[in-house]
Every structure is written in structure tokens, then in C-alpha cells.
């Protein structure tokens, strides 16, 4: 059995498609593209290699995945690539571009079970985790690190090299220029902290005592008025009783652009 490829689609002989893959009309799949089982590729999709796409993805019309990045240093023959995991929904006009030679071995990566809405842009060298929701027109500049279970409201803009922690929620139209601490909500232009992502944590079954510890850490970071050195000292004490606070402290220690604070 061979993949179900519409007769108007163009699939390069050097592309590797699982026999259960479906390719819609007028789509173009180039050499070096590998697509896993049960992935559906709609009409007018363009896939460029080197790129690996996992199992059970749905890629809607006019998406452009694996194209050379918009970085001015990028060259067509650079050994850069895109990796996309399993179970992602990628809607109309989404662009996910190859990495550059600047870092991470030229990799742009998307994890599993992300819901990526229309016209989202994931720039070069960005690493996106799993179970995220990126609403329409969200844009990730180059070198962004996006964690797991992040919700980005429509038209969220994320500056290059920013890190977004797990379980973050961004309000629509947010402009993020610094790192965003895990478990919190931000909104505004530029974005400001608006509290913890209590609803998201509730939906994911966080225990009441865990939410309370996260809230205490939030108050310490954003409302205490203390210097960051003092904040980290107190977080270190709290971290012994809470793995979530320990993660928040580790995130702060690893921050390169300082917190959106």
C-alpha cells in the first residue's frame, strides 16, 4: 500500500511518507521530508526538507513548513532542519522555518499535541514544547524557547531569545520582550504580570497546596519589592517543600533576558 496522494500533488521521490499519509490537491513535498503514520496534509501545503514530521498530525491548507529561515545569514544549503512531533494540529497559513547555523545545530523543533491556529509564525531556532495552544497570528521570533501547556492569546508577539515557562498564559495582543516565569499570566504592551494562571492550573489538576505555593512564590517575585538576589534566597528556602517553586527558581537562574517583571 502507498500513501494516498492526490494526482495534482507533487511529491519528490526522495521524500519518505508512511503508507497511511494523505496528501491533498496541489501540495508540494520536497526531498528530505519524512512524514509519519496517519498524518493528513491538506491542499496547497508546502513542505521543505530536511524536515521530520511525526504521527497523527493535521496540516491545513496554505501552511509552509521547513522553508529557509528569514534570517539574513541563512543559506539554502545550510545543514539546518525542522522537527515536528506527534498529534499536532497546524492550521491555515502557519509558517515554521528551519533553524540557522547560529545555535542548536540549526534546529527548529515543535513537540507533541500542540494546537497551532491560523497564521502563527514559529521562527528559526525556536523550540516549542508540547500541549500548547497558539492562537491566531501569534508570532515567535528566532531562538524562542516555549515550554509545555502554554496558552498564547491571539496576536501575541514574542521577542527573539525569550523563554516562556510551562503553564504560562498570555493575553491577546501581548508584546513579550523578556522571559516569562512559569505558571503566570501576562498581558499588555509591553506585557506585565497579571497573577498566576489559576484557571489553567485548575484544569490540569494541580493540588490546592501546590497552587498556594506557586501563589506565594508569585507574590515574592512580583509584589514584595525585594531585590532579585533576596527573592532568590527566599525562593530557595521555599523550594525544599515545593517542586514547582524549585522549577520557578531554576527558571530564574537560567534566564538570559531577565524576567517580564
| 229: CB partners within 8 A, 6+ apart | none
Catalytic position from the list 44, 121, 124, 131: 124
Residue 172 has a CB neighbour count (10 Å cut-off) of 14
Cα separation of 186 and 192, whole Å?
5
| Alpha-carbon distance values, 40 to 7, 113, 115 (Å) | 16, 14, 15
DSSP label at residue 259:
B
Catalytic position from the list 36, 106, 111, 142: 142
CB burial readout 16-35, b (16+ within 10 A) else e? bbbebbbbbeebbbbebbbb
DSSP label at residue 86:
S
Catalytic position from the list 125, 153, 200, 244: 125
Q: Is 142 a catalytic residue?
A: yes
Residues labelled as active-site residues: 124-125, 142
Amino acid at each position: 500500500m502507498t500513501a494516498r496522494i492526490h494526482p495534482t500533488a507533487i511529491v519528490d521521490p526522495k521524500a519518505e511518507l508512511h503508507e497511511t499519509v494523505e496528501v491533498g490537491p496541489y501540495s508540494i513535498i520536497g526531498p528530505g521530508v519524512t512524514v509519519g503514520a496517519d498524518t493528513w496534509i491538506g491542499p496547497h501545503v508546502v513542505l521543505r526538507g530536511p524536515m521530520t514530521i511525526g504521527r497523527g498530525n493535521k496540516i491545513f491548507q496554505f501552511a509552509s513548513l521547513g522553508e529557509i529561515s528569514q534570517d539574513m545569514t541563512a543559506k539554502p544549503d545550510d545543514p539546518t532542519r525542522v522537527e515536528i512531533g506527534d498529534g499536532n494540529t497546524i492550521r491555515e497559513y502557519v509558517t515554521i522555518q528551519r533553524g540557522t547555523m547560529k545555535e542548536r545545530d540549526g534546529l527548529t523543533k515543535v513537540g507533541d499535541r500542540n494546537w497551532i491556529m491560523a497564521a502563527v509564525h514559529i521562527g528559526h531556532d525556536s523550540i516549542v514544547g508540547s500541549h500548547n495552544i497558539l492562537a491566531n497570528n501569534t508570532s515567535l521570533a528566532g531562538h524562542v524557547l516555549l515550554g509545555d501547556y502554554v496558552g498564547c492569546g491571539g496576536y501575541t508577539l514574542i521577542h527573539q531569545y525569550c523563554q516562556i515557562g510551562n503553564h504560562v498564559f498570555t493575553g491577546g495582543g501581548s508584546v513579550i520582550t523578556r522571559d516569562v516565569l512559569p505558571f503566570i499570566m501576562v498581558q499588555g504592551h509591553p506585557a506585565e504580570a497579571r497573577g498566576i494562571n489559576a484557571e489553567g492550573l485548575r484544569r490540569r489538576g494541580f493540588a490546592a497546596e501546590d497552587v498556594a505555593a506557586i501563589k506565594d512564590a508569585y507574590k515574592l517575585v512580583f509584589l514584595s519589592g525585594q531585590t532579585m538576589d533576596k527573592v532568590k534566597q527566599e525562593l530557595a528556602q521555599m523550594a525544599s517543600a515545593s517542586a514547582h517553586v524549585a522549577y520557578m527558581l531554576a527558571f530564574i537562574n537560567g534566564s538570559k533576558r531577565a524576567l517580564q517583571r
